[in-house]
Structure 1
Amino acid sequence: MTLVAGDAQGELLSAMVGLSFWGGVDPQTGVVIDQHHPLCGESLDGRVLAIPSGRGSCSGSGVLLELILNGHAPAAIVICEREEILTLGALVAEVVFEQSIPVLRIEREVFARLGEYRYARVVGSNFQLLHKPPIGDWQPETAQQESNEDTTVRLDAVDEAFLSGQHGKAAQVAMRLLVRMAAVQEAEAFMDVTQVHIDGCIYTGPASLRFAQMLIGWHARVRVPTTLNSISVDKRRWRAQGVAQDLGVPASALADAYLAMGAQPSFTCAPYLLESAPRFGEQVGWAESNAVVYANSVIGARTMKYPDYLDVCIALTGRAPLAGCHLDAGRRATLALEVEMPTGADDAFWPLLGYCCGAVCGTEIPLIRGLETSAAGPDELKAFGAAFATVAAASMFHIAGITPEADEQRPERQVRIASSELRQAWQVLNTVASPEVGLVSLGNPHFSHDECARLAALVRGRTKSANVAVVVTCGRAVHEAASRAGHIEEAEAFGVQFVTDTCWCMLGEPVIPPAVRTLMTNSGKYAHYAPGLVGRGVRFGGMAACVEAACSGKAQQEAPAWLS
């Protein structure tokens, strides 16, 4: 199936594991930086990339757009599962910037044999596998063949008005992209959403700013209440923090562009902590991987895992394809995961389990059994969901006895996640043997008010090592509430630095001290991404273990007793 049309050929680069372009691929060079991925160190530039699907961050579409426009993209992308994040990046390049790469979905049986070949060619909807380099003077068409915009999706008068340009060029282009994505999602119609959360405000490079500024030039305005995800800098304090101008200026300009469109300056990757969080059953258009799975799974609101830039299109029209998790059928679990919570487990259990479950389920929505008596609360489910979304392509999960739609699920296939897999995940996330720690990073996703209170209690009466920095990221709203409650002042007395507006997946030096070689975090998401994003070794543990490391300068080398 042709998702984005075009002709290409090149050396075949394949893997049986999905790849998140955000945090997994350098947007300037096309080199794979995800140290947990089998393609780590490989360059995608000019090669035919074959992976089952994208996974992880919604910002992967932005990274692919950067690569297409800077000339370091794959020649083509070949997948075998449902995939929307990378497909959308190629569609935006085609529709908005008139250049793109082909994206093709093939049968799983064909995909399974890719390892036997070294080269591949995509010509329209035809996919050729070759043992030797293609011979001859074949050249791709000078102009990319544009994918057919005809679709079986039903368009009502509102949709037609957008497409005809009655609401301006920005909304017209947005609707064109929505129609193209609706065809990929096999949607039958469009629907209204009540709110949008934009992840496309993250600065991935010049292309992300060009896209937003083009929309501003076309007088773009959001049509529904719209919140903004964490941006790439602390907007109010990046200069004082020593962030370089070549990041701070364009990242702030990108945020300003979306504010000018009418979005709210929420700047948080945890919009479910805001007063505007949706209710059960509410149809919304959210991006940001952890926010999507939390909204769907814990709140019971309904959203797809919208790629960056499609979130913007939904905000500009208030319309979204009626498909996937917006429908009852798209929320059903197809896989049951049997787990057991170890006796004495601390809060590190939840991101570890989320990481294991996400790796097992891939694109399938799981029902997790065995945690009915765990009394998991919002913070535990937040940590679970963020780690789950880092390695899974699925938009939601169900946990029996805990999440609101779990009792309706009846999956037939079952898989057991043993304690040995939790131990293996611990080893994967602890990437260095040295116990020395120079930075404790907390707040990925953003800290909640309760987490601020817990941290304040943990550091009370303690003395931080002078050799360890402790940095917490959180949203402005949480920071203000925690300040009023006295939690921020108490933590700052210990030596904690609070950073708002941005989050750990965007932070680099000098917020991360240049001399730091190893950091410690309680986030399964950041433990996965940090080695590739910032080139540091990682120690992973619960919040109390992180505080201990902040005081001693050393992390516990052995896994905790409950895991052993």
Structure 2
Amino acid sequence: MVILTDYEQRMLDGEFGEFKQIALQKIVDYANALGAEELCEVKKATLYLGAHPYLETAGSDDYDVIFSKMYLCSDKTVPLGEMADCCFCQTCVAPCDQYQWESLYLSKEFFDRNRKYLELTRDAGVSITGSCTPYLVGWIPLKGEHFVTTESSNVVMCNSVFGACGNSDGIEAAAWSAVCGRTPKWGFHVPENRYGTIVFNIECAAETAVDWDIIGYTVGRKLPPHGVPVLQGNYPHPDIIRLKQCFAAMATTSGAEMCHIVGFTPEAPDLKTALGGKEPKAVITITEEDYRESLDMLCDRGESPINIVALGCPHYTLEEIRAAALYIKGKTFDPSVDFAIWTDYATREMASQNGYLKIVEAAGGQILSSACPLVIGHKYFKHAVGFVADGAKQAHYIRSELPKGTPVYYGDMFKCIDAAVRGSWKEVK
């Protein structure tokens, strides 16, 4: 049975209102189910808000009803209150761009509803950012701080690189924590659970962002359930771009929530420390053959017309947008191709200020914010004849969503841009 502090008990007794009382009761129930003996204070939260299609199952346009039923998991409708004072909250991805809808094959009514939901939660204390990479726009939980998030790759990034503490709790549990400022002390909130258990010797290519995307995808494929991977090998230290690709792909093919990189991440100065002084449960080598096998899973063979190109899964950094824009400059995309770079809207504004947006638009493409094809759903890609992506996560998940038989191609940003110019994918020998 979880033991509460005096403040927590007062909240549970309803002293701070029914909104927080219900949220804390859910957290207490969650903690008891997990066997957690206490709660910890949450400093940062990202929340999956906006007019996501699954919310329609609430059967109401009243956002108090929607939030109560779908986020608080309560049959009783409680007016939307305020998020916890101790917790800085911001939005994860939404099902629509912040500025436009027609080019996404969405309606103005849906766009307005999405804005309405976001603005209501903004007034409750959730800043609108529309980002699956919140650490790129200032949302950075520091070492030892506790966080909740609805983005699986963000869990791995924050635990591994920042030394913050969090689990993949899910949409509803993240909302409860944001409201009451507490989460069960279990999993990666507990220091002794953070040690690595499975060592991966990386012997494949590990230079480019695509290499690290494939490494993450492959490690995830081979990681045993509940394993905590430890990566080691003779490769240069990865930068933030390579890490975000690696962790997004790893969280796609596994339940990984933390990854140690020996000599690089803060809790892995050496292999012994990363393992907590224990022997690994397994040692796995990632070879070039494993790399090629993963690549074959992500990129269909052959050549064919394509009409959707999506760059930015996870969302692009300004550095990536710059590199893409400079490569695009002077080119023109095939008019049949929907070409989009996906990012958060703060980075999109920086891209505009630097002239990168103008370059992309001059070629016939867009820089879009707050979403991605997967999050928007089938309305955006139901007309696809060939889909191209530079993110393993996007390429992996989109396959089951596209019209039957639609090929999916995967490669670096330059191959994807070339495909958008041609209007077709061609294998490079």
Q: 1:383 aligns with which of 241, 245, 250?
A: 245
How far has the Cα of 1:341 moved from its partner? Answer: 3.3
How far has the Cα of 1:555 moved from its partner? Answer: 2.3
SS at match of 1:306: coil
Tell me the residue number matched to 2:313: 444
Tell me the residue number matched to 2:328: 459
In 2: Cα distance, 1:157 partner to 1:317 partner: 14
Q: Does 1:221 align with 2:82?
A: yes
Q: Percent identity?
A: 24
Q: Does 1:167 align with 2:22?
A: no
Q: 2:144 aligns with which of 252, 260, 281?
A: 281
Identify unmatched segments of 5+ residues in structure 1: 1-151
In 1: Cα distance, 2:316 partner to 2:17 partner: 39
How far has the Cα of 1:259 moved from its partner? Answer: 2.1
Contact (CA 8 Å) 2:312, 2:341: kept in 1 or not?
yes
SS at match of 2:168: coil
How far has the Cα of 1:245 moved from its partner? Answer: 6.0
In 2: Cα distance, 1:294 partner to 1:207 partner: 32
Q: 2:340 aligns with which of 461, 468, 471?
A: 471
Tell me the residue number matched to 1:557: 427
Contact (CA 8 Å) 1:269, 1:503: kept in 2 or not?
no
Q: 1:543 aligns with which of 410, 413, 417?
A: 413
Q: CA 1:416/1:373 → structure 2, altered by over 3 Å: closer, same or farther?
A: closer
Tell me the residue number matched to 2:255: 393
SS at match of 1:153: coil
How far has the Cα of 1:202 moved from its partner? Answer: 6.4
Provide the aligned length of Structure 1 versus Structure 2: 405
Within 5 Å, which residues of 2 pair with 1:191-340? 191-199=40-48, 201=50, 203=52, 204-207=54-57, 210-212=65-67, 217-223=78-84, 224-238=87-101, 241-244=104-107, 247-248=110-111, 250-340=113-203
In 1: Cα distance, 2:51 partner to 2:188 partner: 24
Q: 2:400 aligns with which of 532, 535, 540?
A: 532
Contact (CA 8 Å) 1:351, 1:387: kept in 2 or not?
yes
In 1: Cα distance, 2:388 partner to 2:183 partner: 39
Q: Does 1:404 align with 2:266?
A: yes
Within 5 Å, which residues of 2 pair with 1:466-545? 466-508=335-377, 511-512=380-381, 515-535=383-403, 536-545=406-415
**What is the identity, as a one-letter code, of the residue corresponding to 1:212?**
F
In 2: Cα distance, 1:241 partner to 1:524 partner: 22
In 2: Cα distance, 1:534 partner to 1:178 partner: 37
SS at match of 2:375: coil
**What is the identity, as a one-letter code, of the residue corresponding to 1:220?**
G
SS at match of 1:517: coil
In 2: Cα distance, 1:177 partner to 1:220 partner: 16
Could you give the per-residue CA deviations for residues 4-27 of structure 1, whole angstroms, max 9, x where no partner exists? xxxxxxxxxxxxxxxxxxxxxxxx
In 1: Cα distance, 2:104 partner to 2:253 partner: 31
SS at match of 2:401: helix
In 2: Cα distance, 1:511 partner to 1:499 partner: 13
Q: Does 1:352 align with 2:214?
A: yes
Tell me the residue number matched to 1:143: none
Indicate the structure whose relative CO is greater, using CA pairs within 8 Å and at least 6 residues apart. 2
Aligned-pair Cα RMSD in Å? 2.3
**TM-score, normalized by length of structure 1?**
0.67
In 1: Cα distance, 2:22 partner to 2:400 partner: 35
Contact (CA 8 Å) 1:336, 1:366: kept in 2 or not?
yes
How far has the Cα of 1:397 moved from its partner? Answer: 0.8
Q: CA 1:375/1:458 → structure 2, altered by over 3 Å: closer, same or farther?
A: farther
How far has the Cα of 1:541 moved from its partner? Answer: 0.6
Could you give the per-residue CA deviations for residues 472-519 of structure 1, whole angstroms, max 9, x where no partner exists? 11111111122222222222222221211222321346644x543111
Tell me the residue number matched to 2:25: 176
In 2: Cα distance, 1:277 partner to 1:191 partner: 18
How far has the Cα of 1:466 moved from its partner? Answer: 2.7
Identify unmatched segments of 5+ residues in structure 2: none
**TM-score, normalized by length of structure 2?**
0.87
